[in-house]
Amino acid sequence: MSYQDTNPRNEWPLWEIFIRGQHGMSHRHVGSLHAPDAEMAIKNARDVYTRRNEGVSIWVVEAEKITASSPSDKGPMYEPSQSKVYRHPTFFDIPDDVGAM
């Protein structure tokens, strides 16, 4: 089914907006907006979400194209990593005398 069939109101699709800020290392989800296509979504994102100088790079993704993990999978998806505590630096006890590490 095309978008047109599911959208009798002719509503502009919803886009999810990701922005990398001046000092940011990666793009972060900042919110959503409506736009007729990707090109306008980028422009609208610039106008809506960077009014206070927040961004240097913008990604847009049509909301319905996003596949999200289901909350009921929360156990199998994330719990295994909880047992791998050795992946976190605080797992290791280094004597203060050694200095910063």
Partner 1 sequence: MYAQMVKSENTDSGPELDAFQARIDAGEKIEPKDWMPAGYRKTLIRQISQHAHSEIVGQLPEGNWITRAPTLERKAILLAKVQDEAGHGLYLYCAAETLGVSRDELTEMLLDGRMKYSSIFNYPTLTWADIGAIGWLVDGAAIMNQVPLQRTSYGPYARAMVRICKEESFHQRQGYDIMMKMAQGSEAQKRMAQDALNRYWYPSLMMFGPSDKESVHSAQSMSWRIKINSNDELRQKFVDQTVPQAEYLGLTVPDENLRLDPETGHYKFSEPDWTEFFEVLNGNGPCNKERLEARNKAWDDGQWVRDGMMAHARKKAARAASAKVVAE
Partner 2 sequence: MGDHLFEFLLRQGDNTLILSHRISEWCGHAPIIEEDIALANIALDLLGQTQMWLGLAAEVEGAGRSADDLAMLRDAWDFRNAILVERPNGDFGQTMMRQFLFDAYHVELLNRLANSTDERIAAIAAKSLKEVEYHFERSATTVIALGDGSEESHARMQAALDDQWTFAGELFETDAGDHALNDAGIAPLPSELRAGFNTRAIAVLGDATLNIPETTFAHSGGRSGKRHSEHLGHLLTQMQWLQRAYPGATW
Identity of the residue, 51 or 65, whose beta carbon is nearer to partner 2 in the bound complex: 51
Interface residues for partner 1 in 46-85 (CB under 8 A)? 48, 51-52, 68, 70-71
Task: Compare residues 40 and 59 and give the one whose CB is closer to partner 2.
Answer: 40
11 DSSP 8-state letter? P
Q: What stretch of H or E contains 81?
A: helix 74-82
Question: Residue 11 interacts with partner 1 (CB under 8 A)?
Answer: yes
Angle at Cα 2 formed by Cα 17 and Cα 65, nearest 5°? 30
Spatial distance between the Cα atoms of 81 and 45, rounded to a whole number of angstroms: 35
Residues within the interface to partner 1 (CB under 8 A): 4, 9-12, 14, 30-34, 36-37, 40, 48, 51-52, 68, 70-71
